[in-house]
Amino acid sequence: MTKQEKVDYVIATLADLYPEIPIPLDHNDYYTLLIAVLLSAQSTDVRVNQITPLLFAKARTPQEMIKLTVEEIRDIIRPVGLSPMKSKGIHGLSKILLEKHNGEVPRTYEDLEELPAVGHKTAAVVLAQAFDIPTFPVDTHIHRLMYRWGFTNGKNVVQTERDAKRLFPEETWNDLHLQIIWYGREYSPARGWNLEKDIITKKIGRKSVLNEYYKKKK
């Protein structure tokens, strides 16, 4: 298969598997989405979805959040990990949203990445899921599968994002990034990987990846 044929195969297969694409993080509006995505860094969506209801019961707007202390926020979000940094970020960005953005979540990379604890990936997820702006946020699942499928060299997420945007049509980015995440969790995990279930990698996977898999199975 040519690379373009592989790209077309991935798009078609994921569309068949995930015609309806659930959003992994529970939220009610743009602000709660931003907070949930921030909390998901180096954590799991399941854990974040367990904690955000507790946090949002106390504060679900920037106005309410700045009334809490950083320590109060940290006590609530501690189970998601990195709570000292995340609690300062949540409190700090809430204050900045009120001071600079009328309490609204901004719609540009530049403004989002100026917020405390908001990096490129968090900004990209918010732009895609809140505002339907084409982005291609790269998490560990996408990074792993883009390498397994031979679409990137896998050296870093910056290169993986660049390669994904080059290969896939822009109008597919927002759906694909979620579809690949779900596919990675269900069919192509980092641990306990069963190639027989991983229909995409089995058909188009990088030869060195497939050879290494079969070598370990012997």
Return the half-sphere exposure (C-beta side, CA atoms, 13 A cut-off) of residue 62. 19
The one catalytic residue in 6, 86, 139, 198 is: 139
* Tokens (6 digits) for 160: 């993986």
Rg (CA), the chain: 19
* Tokens (6 digits) for 143: 């990074």
C-alpha span between 105 and 116 (Å, rounded): 13
The one catalytic residue in 121, 165, 175, 202 is: 121
Name the CA dihedral angle for 82, 88, 90, 91, rounded to a multiple of 10 degrees.
160
Place of tokens 């993080």: 25
* Tokens (6 digits) for 80: 């998601």
Q: Is 139 assigned a catalytic role?
A: yes
Q: Is 165 assigned a catalytic role?
A: no
User: Annotated active-site positions, please?
Assistant: 121, 139
